[in-house]
Structure 1
């Protein structure tokens, strides 16, 4: 399946304005539910719903959800920061929390 096809299977995020990534109490990332980031909001929200946090297991699934974009991120570090974050987590990086920001 392509990334677009996978996105169509994920839960809606219409109720969210944004999603924040936290390392302890520190916000290390923010994904706004707007064009250009809405797909990542859906992926991260789905991971949060299934796993409750972002750890190596959640990251591994997230990399599969990003489909063809994961290979592009590996080939071009920095081009896809939301995938880069999952790559670090999949390699055993520190687990991160998620905070949902309602619309």
Structure 2
């Protein structure tokens, strides 16, 4: 399925303003906001965190499937899709993130 179709199957995120990815040192590694250009990734990361308790290797692998055609584009163009690049790094390194949800 295409990313747009996969996105429709994820829970809505209208109640969220953003989410923060917290690394193993307790530092904010990234913030994904509920705004155009990031709302899809917010939905993906929020759904993965709800299912897996954070962003671990299993969550990252599932996330790559959800991103569908964008995953191949990310691999071909590093830096173009930072939220996908982050999942690839989690798989490579095994270092995941805890997730802090920021309510709207």
TM-score of Structure 1 vs Structure 2, range by shorter chain: over 0.9
Mind listing any 5+ residue stretches in structure 2 that lack a counterpart? none
CA distance, structure 2, for counterparts of residue 8 and residue 56 of structure 1: 23
CA distance, structure 2, for counterparts of residue 14 and residue 74 of structure 1: 30
CA distance, structure 2, for counterparts of residue 63 and residue 39 of structure 1: 13
CA distance, structure 2, for counterparts of residue 6 and residue 15 of structure 1: 20
Structure 1 partner of 2:55: 54
Give the aligned CA root-mean-square deviation in angstroms: 0.7
Deviation at residue 92 of structure 1 after TM alignment? 3.2
- 2:49 paired with 1:75: no
Mind listing any 5+ residue stretches in structure 1 that lack a counterpart? none
TM-score normalised per structure 2: 0.96
- 2:28 paired with 1:8: no
Instruction: Tell me the alpha carbon deviations over residues 15-73 of structure 1, each in whole angstroms, 9 at most, x when there is no partner.
Output: 00001000132001000000000000000001001001111111000000000000000
Number of residue pairs aligned between Structure 1 and Structure 2: 103
Runs of 4+, deviation exceeding 2 Å: none
Deviation at residue 93 of structure 1 after TM alignment? 3.0
